[in-house]
Structure 1
Amino acid sequence: MTIERKAPTGILGFPVAPFNNSGKLDEKALERNVQFLIDEELSSIFIACGSGEFHALDKGEYQTMIEVALSVVSGKVPVYTGVGGNISQAIEQVKLSEDLGADGYLILPPYLIEGEQEGIFNYYKAILESSDLNAIVYQRDTAILQVETLQRLIEFPQVVGFKEGHGNMELTVEQTQTIGDRLEWINGMPFAEITMPSYVPLGYNTYSSAISNYIPHISRLYFKSLLEGNYQLVRDLYVDVLLPINRIRKSRKGYAVSLIKAGMEIVGLPVGNTVRPPISQVEKEHYKALEQIIRSAFDKYPVDNKEVSH
């Protein structure tokens, strides 16, 4: 079988890990989350990654999340899994992902330890050599890749994409302009809509969207307007929706995950506003503020109005 060496493009879907009031994984809620993203035409599903509380899942939950995602997606779009931790754990997750039928995997940054470039390269190399599955390398925190290191990694045909979550634009220019279209460049910055205008001119046509879990029509409208040069609408969306949500997100550590669940609960998705430590739930005042922003967003930018113009 020939593997198509191509990463997903467009707006990528990152489901959460819904927990019930007893703290157990809620499979039905996860099914609904994934189905919602598919119905809203997101290009792919990235399961058990950062927004899916990868750090807090046990082996059984991890496998269940992948199985649920694959079952719901049923081949409609690519499914990628999150892998990480120590090398043995990551390889085990890659093999499980492959056995279950995932299309590829996203390598999360190494836990805690910040290595030199050779060490980071060897970490990724060991994982990549374990499978022929397509892989996306994630740059952030403890895994910042200089151009020479990234050039060595793309000698592996499995590497089809590069997810950037660091925010160093000088490095990003060097990476994209040196390597070009060998990779799919994915904006993985926290709240990627905020920074996407800076990344598009450098070749980034893809990003991960947290708000797509609850207001995907805003993500679509924003991205379409950005690519078409409708900058007045882009600005309006920033002022009315994106920047206000981002201000809440930045007010507490862990809101990058818990605020997604709050937003999903607000729009009526059965996610359960429960997260696992060390992440904390969204505080009441922030929840109410998010609720007001979402309500206003639906009023000004109705879901069924796909061609809002100004």
Structure 2
Amino acid sequence: MGSENQVSLSGIMGFPVTPFDHNENVNEKAFETNVQFLLAGGLDSVFVCAGSGEFQSLDIKEYEQLVGIGVSVSAGKVPVFAGAGGNLKEAIERVQLAEKLGADGLLLLPPYLIIPEQEGLYHYYRTLAQSTALPVIIYQRDNSVFTLTTLEKLANLPNVIGFKDGLGNFELNIEFVQSLGNKLQWMNGMPLAELTMPAYHALGFHSYSSAISNYIPQVSRKYHESLIGGNQELLQAIYREVILPIHRIRQQRKGYAVSLIKAGMEIVGLPVGLQVRAPLVQVEREHYVQLEVIIQKSMDLIASTHNI
């Protein structure tokens, strides 16, 4: 997309999964279908090989496959960002490969395992940002927690355009937004981001990652329209019938942030399968059935929205 300043991110960010067959090989056709489904659902951007895409389990050839397909299928309709992080040398290799494959930008994930000092955190993200001409988004979560001073230094790098928060520390977020303002684009990256988006939106966060868009994008779209438009009645109905029930299932098992998406996609007829790579586990039958009921209720709710 030429210049980093041309990429503007707002609205709903889509995070496709990585479908695997029973031999744990990447199912390219199913991935294409996933990206096409997100585009048809009206999402505003697509992020491949990130958390929902089981980034941590992909080798470099699989990464190349998936980024290439994401760019090809999206065909310039929306920005395509690729995830990169973990081991610094491997992350640089993936950053540069994503740029070569035509990605529009990068989501920089945390370094592996270590809980670093701020100096080390700055050096890690600066090194990745400076290894590419692409615009990059800094992702705060887990072992990557920034002070204002560190984030200010990163925001001064010419291709750092955004900050995605997966930590949920609102005092810190207020300090960041009030101090840096429009120097960065602010994104809600919390698990099941719809759960917290009203609070983030009030702070100045204008986009969020939507896991449920992989299987009920019409709900995510109605949710976003209701939030922006102030339709409290519909917003409350979506929380009551969809968001909070899904959140309760997700809390039952670690790793459901990914495997529950694949279960939802299978329920609505998308051919991604339930296979996840270790250490993730598949959704238990009891929770699968509960999700089926929620998805049906969500369909009924959307069908009746003309009355709300």
Superposition TM-score, scaled by structure 1 size: 0.97
Which residue matches 1:229?
230
Which residue matches 1:36?
37
Give unmatched runs, 5+ long, in structure 1: none
Contact kept in structure 2, 1:7 and 1:161, CA below 8 Å? no
Secondary structure of 1:163's aligned partner: strand
Which residue matches 2:109?
108
Aligned-partner residue type, residue 106 of structure 1: L
- Measure how far apart 1:232 and its partner are: 1.6
- Measure how far apart 1:132 and its partner are: 1.2
- Measure how far apart 1:22 and its partner are: 1.9
**2:98 corresponds to 1:97:** yes
Q: Distance in 2 between matches of 1:123 and 1:273?
A: 34
**2:168 corresponds to 1:167:** yes
Contact kept in structure 2, 1:258 and 1:275, CA below 8 Å? yes
- Measure how far apart 1:7 and its partner are: 3.7
Q: Distance in 2 between matches of 1:64 and 1:2?
A: 23
Secondary structure of 1:80's aligned partner: strand
Q: Distance in 2 between matches of 1:236 and 1:120?
A: 41
Give unmatched runs, 5+ long, in structure 2: none
Structure 1 outlier segments of 4+, above 4 Å: none
Q: Distance in 2 between matches of 1:279 and 1:203?
A: 34
- Measure how far apart 1:8 and its partner are: 2.0
Q: Distance in 1 between matches of 2:306 and 2:219?
A: 11
Contact kept in structure 2, 1:105 and 1:135, CA below 8 Å? yes
Aligned-partner residue type, residue 222 of structure 1: Y
Contact kept in structure 1, 2:164 and 2:189, CA below 8 Å? yes
Contact kept in structure 1, 2:20 and 2:276, CA below 8 Å? yes
- Measure how far apart 1:309 and its partner are: 4.7
Which residue matches 1:67?
68
Q: Percent identity?
A: 53
Which residue matches 1:205?
206
Secondary structure of 2:9's aligned partner: coil
CA offset digits 1:105-132 (Å, max 9, x no partner): 0000111101011110010011111111
Aligned-partner residue type, residue 70 of structure 1: V
Which residue matches 2:77?
76
Aligned-partner residue type, residue 171 of structure 1: L
Q: Distance in 2 between matches of 1:309 and 1:183?
A: 39
Which residue matches 1:3?
3
Secondary structure of 1:137's aligned partner: strand
Aligned-partner residue type, residue 86 of structure 1: N
Contact kept in structure 1, 2:4 and 2:134, CA below 8 Å? no
Aligned-partner residue type, residue 89 of structure 1: E
Decide which moves more: 293-302 or 129-138: 293-302
Aligned ranges 1:51-200 → 2 under 5 Å = 51-200=52-201
CA offset digits 1:2-58 (Å, max 9, x no partner): 504234221001000001122111000000000000111101110000000001111
Q: Distance in 2 between matches of 1:149 and 1:300?
A: 44
Secondary structure of 1:204's aligned partner: coil
Which residue matches 1:214?
215
- Measure how far apart 1:300 and its partner are: 2.2
Q: Distance in 2 between matches of 1:270 and 1:2?
A: 35
Q: Distance in 2 between matches of 1:68 and 1:4?
A: 22
Q: Distance in 1 between matches of 2:39 and 2:241?
A: 26
CA offset digits 1:168-218 (Å, max 9, x no partner): 110010001110011110000000000001111110110000000000110
Secondary structure of 1:81's aligned partner: strand
Secondary structure of 2:297's aligned partner: helix
Superposition TM-score, scaled by structure 2 size: 0.97
Q: 1:196 to 1:143 in 2, by over 3 A?
A: same
- Measure how far apart 1:74 and its partner are: 1.0
Secondary structure of 2:196's aligned partner: helix
Q: 1:108 to 1:308 in 2, by over 3 A?
A: farther
Aligned-partner residue type, residue 274 of structure 1: Q
